[in-house]
Chains A and B, each alone.
Chain A
């Protein structure tokens, strides 16, 4: 069974919102990815989203596009990403780890093989950005057989009909996209977001985590008022890139994660 549901249950008891941190596997290097995951866990994050790089990330903004490209340029692959996850899993036995990618790398790897190898590496769930319920069946069933949750996305444009379908299909959590747009740090939290989350909540008890444009402790604090988790991606990816040559990279990452995590504690 995946680590996601128990983790959210525990957070609820502690009256905390989940902090989910996104990094791109292989940026700056595959070895550092393992160290960075450890630093993020030490900083108090509740789950890790790890990007398996894809050449054409159409839902991603400039930060993650550039990160993905750097990773691919250094020779990162799906196999190497799973190896890094496996390594991180040895050092962080309890943290839920959720790869985030696009369908083609998974399809190319082979759905069965990917699910098996990901489960063996210690993966808990998967987010496939361009896989919507209409096309997801082959993957979702294979994932389920291997104990991997399939996290679907919902958007501010989603109709109540789609919210209903996706609420039923999504396991582990539901990824609520904060705004119409691509990933990338933004100044504000959209005014409509709370209503979007509340609407989804009226359909399901599955935890709802909000991502896209969440970059500061203040954003996380605002999200924590009405959602079950906040995903910080581009801001962290940029932070890691800007500090990649610093001898204190890992302690800096830990500190930045700790300040984000602090914002999820509601009392």
Chain B
């Protein structure tokens, strides 16, 4: 893999017309769904030109989701690290995570395309809940694919989806987690492509999804930019976000990409440790490959079979990652690190004890990164962590792991 210097290409205009971010991205899917991808890309371009689209989306984001979310000064956490640490409170979004920023945008496109049926994949269930929520709000039929293992570890979210009127389809193939839920959602889409829109929940999949989801999530970074200037009079030194597929990270990174002094740090899940092989850190420990419609870093064996991933956090438990993250890694614009299950649990406890916030296990990986980079945190260092979701859904796992019961 050649190293692309960031200057050689302007990321603001990526992807190109084929959906490529340098060598990554593109479209690797069965021919059957290509016309639907073209239709989606064309509808998105039309929507961007429609003077009513963005204001309507903004109104829903304000009144239904509760945006703008605060950029919260974490006073006690800052004191502990003798630095300035802010949290972008996506956990305060309606449904409890950033996922709804994207599902709202995509359902508005589905409505414009006249597709009456929505499908989605979900890992932790946050994207499933966010999809079920907007389907209820706009009156569309909703089916969510979820791995059987995730159904067990995120049972609260399964109940929420059902209460919202969605059908949850358990997936028993392969690893029974997000990867296989995505396969099943793809199979559904190939079959029902004429009347169904597939709301992919992260910056993954075939073009235009990585671009679409990034754009809908970049409201996080746009707000953070304005709020950073309001509160500190300048842009942050560090922005830290967890990366599974990478939508919350892409959403907060993207509006800062041209600001070279802002260091972007993506935190993958090291699971039981990178050396154990039981992790989901494709950017840190994988190789480029193709999965679920795009070229990106991937966990795979020597024969090109996708390797099973592991993380305590269902939302990060995925062997692939969004292609734009692969691009940012190779362009050296963002840095990717990995945090283990036990370090993430410590991060979760730290935030609960210091700030009165119980975050999601996914988000806890980003919090745990503070401890790892504490030597870089000077009194005037300004750090923003994307607090991507709240932790209610993870209480069973946390109680078991921390023996709180």
- Which residues of A line the B interface, CB within 8 A? 53-61, 65, 69, 72, 77-79, 102-109, 129-132, 134-135, 152-159, 162, 166, 177, 180-182
Q: How far is the CA of A56 from the CA of B31 in the complex (A)?
A: 17
Residue B34 CB within 8 A of the other chain: yes
Knowing A105-B305, A108-B303, A177-B32 are in contact, say whether A157-B293 is a contact too (CB < 8 A). Answer: no
B303→A78 contact, CB < 8 A: yes
Q: Which B residues lie within 8 Å of A154 (CB)? A: 31
| A65 → B minimal CB distance (Å) | 6
B32→A155 contact, CB < 8 A: yes
| A84 → B minimal CB distance (Å) | 15
A56→B32 contact, CB < 8 A: no
A59→B30 contact, CB < 8 A: yes
Q: How far is the CA of A44 from the CA of B146 in the complex (A)?
A: 43
- Among listed B101-109, B191-199, B347-355, B369-377, interface-contacting one: B191-199
Q: How many residues of B sit at the interface, in one of the four size bands?
A: 35 or more
Q: Which A residues lie within 8 Å of B293 (CB)? A: 130
| A168 → B minimal CB distance (Å) | 15
A54→B304 contact, CB < 8 A: yes
A158→B31 contact, CB < 8 A: yes
1/0 per residue B17-44: CB within 8 Å of A?
0100000001111111111100000000
B187→A182 contact, CB < 8 A: yes
26 A-B pairs within 8 Å (CB atoms) are namely A56-B179, A56-B306, A58-B30, A58-B186, A58-B187, A59-B190, A69-B173, A79-B303, A104-B306, A107-B289, A107-B290, A109-B303, A130-B29, A130-B293, A132-B29, A135-B27, A152-B31, A153-B30, A155-B31, A155-B34, A158-B31, A158-B35, A177-B30, A180-B191, A181-B32, A182-B191
Q: Which B residues lie within 8 Å of A69 (CB)? A: 173-174
Knowing A54-B305, A55-B306, A182-B190 are in contact, say whether A134-B289 is a contact too (CB < 8 A). Answer: no
Knowing A105-B303, A158-B35 are in contact, say whether A129-B183 is a contact too (CB < 8 A). Answer: no
B159-209 CB contacts (< 8 Å) to partner A: 173-174, 179-180, 183, 186-187, 190-194
B303→A77 contact, CB < 8 A: yes
A132→B34 contact, CB < 8 A: yes
A180→B192 contact, CB < 8 A: yes
Q: Which A residues lie within 8 Å of B174 (CB)? A: 55-56, 69
Q: Which B residues lie within 8 Å of A61 (CB)? A: 187
B292→A104 contact, CB < 8 A: no
Q: Which A residues lie within 8 Å of B97 (CB)? A: none
| A185 → B minimal CB distance (Å) | 15
Residue of B nearest to A75 (CB): B303
